[in-house]
Amino acid sequence: MLAVRVDEFGDPSVLACVEVPEPVVGPGRTLIEVDSAGVNFGDVLVRWGEYFGRRALPVVPGWEVVGTVATADPEGPFRVGDRVAALLDGNGYAQRVAAPTEDVAPVPGHISDQVALAMVIQGATAWRLLETLSPGERILVSGAGSGVTHLLIQLARQRGAGEITVVSSSEEKAAHVLRLGADQAVLSDGDGSLRDRLADQLERKVDLVIDMVGGETLEAMLRQLRPGGRAVVYGVAGGTPTKISTGALLKNGWNVSGLWLGHPGSLSFQEILAELFELSRSGRLNPTLGPVLPLARAGEAHRAVEARTGVGKVVLDCRPA
């Protein structure tokens, strides 16, 4: 079968579409014939060899697929031919994958591959980031071009959030998040500091900060967190983690936590996806969709994600040509 493999870390040209051995399905695994694989920002870090110190080569990137069950797990709920989505521990850019059965979920016929893939990691992350949200709470979130942010804004609105403010790197992305339901956007670059712009634009401090950029962005956002407020960190896209003093935590009574989708939450992956698919079916949750490219053009897909042009969910078509 074909897969896209990285044999040396580097720019998108290192993504090579090659013949690889079939995956082996053991206990607790479901073999999926992949129709489409999602491309995520983290895949770019894997390709550069910068994903949380993971440096083993060769590596097949990809953490999410949609396809049909080819070999069912005898202990699992699925049958051969079922249409499913899966959250993987890697190896997703391939024509077949062996997925952990506990992270396989059914996909209704009315949900397209691209929408399903936008929900697997981005949607489930957005859902989990809002797990503690109470109606009326004011949110400050970074990454106006992020697929997670786009879904989070819509979910937060439905859950009765108060004012939603988004930090944006461009006017165009700012306009997009306002269309999705954000109340205001603050530009990350421009005259003066983000810290001052946030202080100028926010009338009151916020209850919840949600960040995936890190560095000075999170530092500036924390300045706007009210005493006793919460901050959730789920990425470091800017490449520099933020240093937060324990003195500041103590003095402000802040609760700062991290979110990692792979860790268990209050609902299972299947339960979260079922809710997200239903919201999508009823038109209440609309991911921003980007290009669909053949598996062999994974390099182009990575260039689109890395360019930060706000292209939306990028997907690889893995069906045989």
Ligand X SMILES: NC(=O)c1ccc[n+]([C@@H]2O[C@H](COP(=O)([O-])OP(=O)(O)OC[C@H]3O[C@@H](n4cnc5c(N)ncnc54)[C@H](OP(=O)(O)O)[C@@H]3O)[C@@H](O)[C@H]2O)c1
Count H helices and E strands in the chain, helices first.
Answer: 10, 15
- Interface with ligand X, residue 176, by CB under 6 A: no
Q: Please, which residue, 25 or 153, has the CB nearer to ligand X? A: 153
d(CA 283, CA 172): 24
Question: Which of 41, 93, 254, 277 is close enough to bind ligand X by CB under 6 A?
Answer: 41
Query: Interacting stretch for ligand X, rule CB under 6 A, among 10-18, 218-226, 229-237, 247-255?
Result: 229-237
- Interface with ligand X, residue 305, by CB under 6 A: yes
Q: Which of 229, 143, 155 is nearest to 186 (CA)?
A: 143
d(CA 265, CA 82): 26
Residue 277 Cβ, how far from ligand X at the closest point, in Å? Answer: 18
Q: Which of residues 96-155 bind ligand X (CB under 6 A)?
A: 121-122, 125, 143-148
Q: Which of residues 231-250 bind ligand X (CB under 6 A)?
A: 234-235, 237-238
- Interface with ligand X, residue 213, by CB under 6 A: yes
Task: Report the Cα–Cα distance between both ends of the chain, in Å, rounded.
Answer: 12
Q: Please, which residue, 145 or 299, has the CB nearer to ligand X? A: 145
Task: With beta carbons less than 8 A apart as the criterion, state whether 166 and 153 touch.
Answer: yes
Q: Please, which residue, 69 or 182, has the CB nearer to ligand X? A: 182
Instruction: Return the structure tokens found at 269.
Output: 């992956």
All residues at 6 or more sequence positions from 41 whose CB lies less than 8 Å from its CB, including other chains: 146, 235, 237, 305
Residues contributing to the site for ligand X (CB under 6 A): 40-42, 121-122, 125, 143-148, 169, 173, 212-213, 234-235, 237-238, 259-261, 305, 308, 310
